[in-house]
Amino acid sequence: MLNWDSTLMSHVYQETNQVADSLENHACQTMQNNVFGGPSSVPDPCKGPIVLDRTSLMHVNGNRHCC
């Protein structure tokens, strides 16, 4: 259970969290709700954002997918 007195939520743009954005796109495109055990088990299109996230480099993707 969350302790709302010490919880801070804030909006982030999709470019800030590209891993979540790529997994959301995958879920919308495949209409599946999957649980992945680690970076090696995620779909190939989602691996690039994981690598970029690990390097802490910002990458802006001009491609947008609509579900």
Query: Which residue type sits at 45?
Result: P
pLDDT digits (tens, 9 = 90+) for 31-61: 988 888 887 888 888 888 888 877 876 655 5
pLDDT interval class at 63 (50, 70, 90):
low
Q: How far is CA 42 from the centre of its chain?
A: 11
CA angle 3, 4, 9 (to 5 degrees): 120
SS3 41: helix
Q: What's the rounded Cα separation, in Å, for the pair 67 and 60?
A: 20
Residue 16 — pLDDT band, cuts 50, 70, 90? Answer: confident
CA neighbor of 39 nearest in space, from 58, 54, 24, 59: 54
